[in-house]
Amino acid sequence: MPGLGFARACIAAAFVALGCAPLAAQALTLVTATSSLGNQHDYSGIGFKFHVNSAITISQLGVFDSGADGIAGTTTLWTTLFDSSGNVIVASAFTNSDAGALESFFRYKDIAPTTLGVGDYILAGYGWDASNLEYNSFIVDGLNTTTFNASPLVTFVDTRFGPQNSSIAHTIAPTNVFPDHSFNSVNMHFQSAVPEPATLALWAVGLGFVGLRRRRRA
């Protein structure tokens, strides 16, 4: 039967793809913390600008947790994602009672899956104080030592910060640029928005069976 042969071919293709790629891509982090302890709180809107080279989907936003001991006091730390024009795309609040899950000195909270197309974006953190510090690598060694994770999906553009000694609202994108400073302040989990080969293969299997059933009914 021609229809049965087509379905079998789809199944074979699926098994080949499953052997070549994972069913679901593992979420990537944007940066890696270079220190477990923060060292400043003089600025707000601390983060960076990055370029998306191929569409990605963000599943979580993260904020740096100095000492990995939670958000201290009544402070609310914010992580906000902006588009290149400074418009808020999504933001997450982190508090003592709702700090999110700890992973490698960052606290993460789920967001509705958010897809970013090719272009520039800004990710920044707000609310730092004496009990909740972010980390500035330049103070320690004069170098940009925060690791911006190597991925063909995204590229580092520059470091961003807001006014000194100011608690600017988390809805205002930072515009000042520090080419020689690097901060542990914010992070995010993301993955490619393009389906994995295995996912496409399973979709083909499903399509094949649907076609086969329709032929049989006919």
110 shares its domain with 205: no
Task: Tell whether the model's pLDDT for residue 162 goes beyond 90.
Answer: no
The domain in which residue 171 lies consists of 25-195
Number of domains in the chain: 2
pLDDT in tens, 48-75: 999 999 999 999 999 999 999 999 999 9
Same-domain check for residues 90 and 19: no
Domain shared by 106 and 203, yes or no: no
Verify that 74 and 128 share a domain, yes or no: yes
Q: Are residues 211 and 151 in the same domain?
A: no
Q: How confident is the model at residue 33 (pLDDT cuts 50, 70, 90)?
A: confident
CATH number of the structural domain spanning residue 182: 2.60.120
Claim to verify: residue 83 and residue 185 sit in the same structural domain: yes
pTM equals 0.78
- The answer on 211 and 181 residing in a single domain is no
Do residue 102 and residue 72 come from a single domain?
Answer: yes
How high is the pLDDT of residue 22?
A: 40
* Rg of the chain in Å (alpha carbons): 22
Sequence letter at residue 95: T
* Domain co-membership, 124 together with 207: no
- Do 113 and 12 share a structural domain? no
Arithmetic mean of pLDDT, 174-189: 84
Mean pLDDT along residues 139-156:
69
